[in-house]
Amino acid sequence: MVTDMAEPQDRPISAVGQRPDADTRLDLYRMMVRMRRFEERAYKLFMRGLVKGTSHLGTGMEAIAAGAAVAMRDDDYTFCTYRGHNHTLGRGASMTALLGELMGREIGVCGGKGGSMHLTSTEHGAMGSYAIVGAHLPIAAGAAWSAQVRGSGQVAVCFFGDGATNIGAFHEALNLAAVWGLPVVFVCENNLYMEYTPISAVTAVPHPAADRAAAYGLDAILIDGNDVEVTYEQIGGAIARAREGGGPALIEAVTYRHGGHSRADPGTYRPSDEVDSWLARDPIPTYRDVLTSDGVDAAVLDEIEADTDAEVDEATTQAQASSPPSPSVIERDVWADGGAAWRN
């Protein structure tokens, strides 16, 4: 049963993360609202033909990226997938730079050379969105190795989908990270579908990440990826443990994408009652209810939403006003000298 997979396992990791305090709870809410409004705007711009190519929206999956981002230290590293808008925004990249990149504008975070699937903002520790499934797990392990030998105390957090658990790089990275005790937290965002196919139909175990943890001597951690306080605590706990030299962790956070796999996919292969049950567990209204029932003034939450709407509008205006990239950048930045010359 799909819903069973969403039940948090009662086996907490050894270094339990902190419960969020009142300010942090608002940060978590704000972060999720900003991600949702950003994705909604990205979708609209796509439908208007202002975003080309493809895009893979993280609508419905915000609680994982938000919980992790709020728990991270500013100089920690994030590695994410082509479904990486939420994670890059969460680390602090501006909406203008991200929407500009989606729209292929000069103001884009990668100057229009990356696009939706390659959002990167290294100044915010967002070390890239990787579009070949699973490739970034060993790369994240490499950043963790660097942090380990430099003694910097930084942790790498690597997000990937359930589909990545069946590719070789997943297993190579997990094994090496465990053997070397690297400060890296692998977060599997299990949205139950590997593109158009139920992950359960193509995977030998029910929990594609958690059930593989034992193979690498790691705890099996299965959490509710739609509860932002759970993700904050559990991913935060794993980060804290990794920072203290406790080595890597593998966390499977079960969630659901509200839309299809990508722009081209209406997602009609999913049973409507399944979709409805997950829409009812939308992490944002659910958390809003939690906060208000705990006494948070609804006006405070309304203000967060209104501020976010204004931010998205302003970012859209600025991004749209930006020019397409100059042809002069085509042969720029292949090499560290800024150029592209391969001969004299």
| Residues that bind another protein in the complex, under the rule CB under 8 A | 77, 79, 110-111, 113-114, 118, 120-123, 127-128, 130, 132, 135-147, 149-150, 154, 156, 168-169, 172-173, 175-176, 179-180, 329, 332-338, 340-344
211/333 with CB nearer another protein: 333
* Closest separation in Å from C-beta 225 to another protein: 25
DSSP string, 168-188: HHHHHHHHHHHHHT--EEEEE
79/232 with CB nearer another protein: 79
127/254 with CB nearer another protein: 127
Residue with tokens 């567990």: 281
C-alpha–C-alpha distance, residues 51 and 43, integer Å = 8
* Closest separation in Å from C-beta 173 to another protein: 6
The bridge status of strand 184-190 relative to strand 156-161 is: parallel
123/303 with CB nearer another protein: 123
* Closest separation in Å from C-beta 232 to another protein: 25
111/161 with CB nearer another protein: 111
* Closest separation in Å from C-beta 120 to another protein: 4
Q: Which of 182, 188, 235, 230 is nearest to 69 (CA)?
A: 235
Q: How far is CA 39 from CA 44, 99, 299, in A?
A: 9, 10, 24
Q: Which of 35, 38, 81 is nearest to 56 (CA)?
A: 81
Q: Which of 174, 171, 163, 107 is nearest to 131 (CA)?
A: 163
For the four alpha carbons of 280, 285, 288 and 292, in that order, the dihedral sign comes to: negative
Q: What is the three-class DSSP state of 156?
A: strand
* Closest separation in Å from C-beta 6 to another protein: 31
* Closest separation in Å from C-beta 341 to another protein: 7
Residues forming a β-bridge with 156: 77, 184
99/312 with CB nearer another protein: 99
Amino acid letter at 30? R
